[in-house]
Amino acid sequence: MKNLKMKAARAGKDLSQQQLADLCGVSRQTISAIEKGDYNPTVSLCIRICKVLGKSLDELFWPEE
């Protein structure tokens, strides 16, 4: 499932995939794969992403019903 919430939050902070990746200590390909739904990140990576984007785990990674 695509993570459009993460992509929107990243765009809202005016960050490129590369910039977010650098801030989280991962590759740009990892960020791209998460946004496309091709990769399930670890909880620790989810937390790092949330801190950088100023969002909660629920806001970015909890599926909507």
Extents of the domains making up the chain:
4-54
CA–CA gap between residue 8 and residue 12 (Å, rounded): 6
Region for residue 23 given its phi and psi (left: phi exceeds 0; alpha: psi -120 to 50; beta: otherwise): alpha
Top CATH class of 4-54 equals mainly alpha
Region for residue 12 given its phi and psi (left: phi exceeds 0; alpha: psi -120 to 50; beta: otherwise): alpha
What's the pTM?
0.92
List, for residues 8-19, the tens digit of each pLDDT value: 999 999 999 999
List, for residues 13-63, the tens digit of each pLDDT value: 999 999 999 999 999 999 999 999 999 999 999 999 999 999 999 999 988
